[in-house]
Structure 1
Amino acid sequence: MRVIIQRVKQADVKVKPEYQAEIQQGLLLFLGIEDKDTQEDVDWVVRKISRLRLFSDDAGKMNLSLLDTGFEAMVISQFTLHASIKKGNRPSFVRAAKPDFAESLYSDFIQKLSKSLGQNIKTGIFGANMEVSLLNDGPVTIFVDSKHKE
């Protein structure tokens, strides 16, 4: 499971004119699920993101988490995080999970993150072509991979 985490002052997602979700200050999470991901990956990533200290305290140090601040989170499905460009110039997505499996873990991830943070999580629509806008804060962008727990 791979996640690109972006600290934002504001973010929104649109899917055609009829769907829109937005957050103010918080984290925008691009979530990529691969075929080997399990509930253990979901649990580890949720725990890490909930407690990751990416927000400044009164001294200006990144010392506060989503749990500490109550800031919002938005999750966007992003199978392209598992692209391989090893051969040729066209990305291969063979490591990305099949849609049914990925959507199930995506839903579990959102549910567990919501429970961990005690708030509703804003999302895009799984598998849809989305327009995502953000105002990156910092900028702070972090890459998390549950298979490499670094």
Structure 2
Amino acid sequence: MIVVIQKSLEASVQIEGNIKGQIGNGLMILVGIENEDGQEDIEWLSRKIVNMRLFEDEEGVMNKSLLDVDGEILLISQFTLHASTKKGNRPSYIKAAKPDVAIPLYEKMIAQLEGDLGKPIATGEFGADMKVSLINDGPVTIIVDSKNRQ
């Protein structure tokens, strides 16, 4: 499971012109799911996300977590994070999990993040054509792959 974490001042996702989810101060997260992903990946990533120190303390040092600043999360499914670009000019998405595998894992990721954060999170809609807006604070963008834990 790969996530792209972007620190945001505000972020939102629209589907067919309607806002599906939006946040203020917090993290906008793109998540890519592959067939080998499971509950262990979800739990590890969720703990990493809510505890990662990306927010400034009183001295301006990134020393506070999402929990410390009572921040919000916008989680967007993004199968293209698993694109292979080794051959040719058309990316291959063969590593990305099909919906019958990915949707239940995406829903478990939502539940895990809500439990670890202690409040509901905003989301997109799996498989929908989404328009995502973001004011990236910093900018701070971190990529984390649950397969690279060690």
Q: Same fold (TM over 0.5)?
A: yes
Give the aligned partner of residue 27 of structure 2.
27
Figure out how many residues of one structure are paired with residues of the other and give that number.
150
Aligned residues: percent identity? 54
Give the aligned partner of residue 7 of structure 1.
7
2:80 corresponds to 1:80: yes
* Counterpart secondary structure, 1:68: coil
1:1-150 to structure 2, matched below 5 A, reads 1-149=1-149
Deviation per CA, 1:88-140, whole angstroms, max 9, x where unpaired?
Answer: 11000000001111010000001010011111100001110100000000000
Deviation (angstroms), 1:20: 2.6
Name stretches of at least 5 consecutive residues in structure 2 with no aligned partner. Answer: none
Structure 1: which 4+ aligned runs deviate by more than 6 Å? none
**TM-score normalised by L of structure 1:** 0.97
**TM-score normalised by L of structure 2:** 0.97
* Counterpart secondary structure, 1:49: helix
* Counterpart secondary structure, 2:50: helix
Distance 1:62 1:112 in 2: 24
Kept after mapping to 1: 8 A contact 2:5/2:29 = yes
Name stretches of at least 5 consecutive residues in structure 1 with no aligned partner. Answer: none
Distance 1:82 1:62 in 2: 29
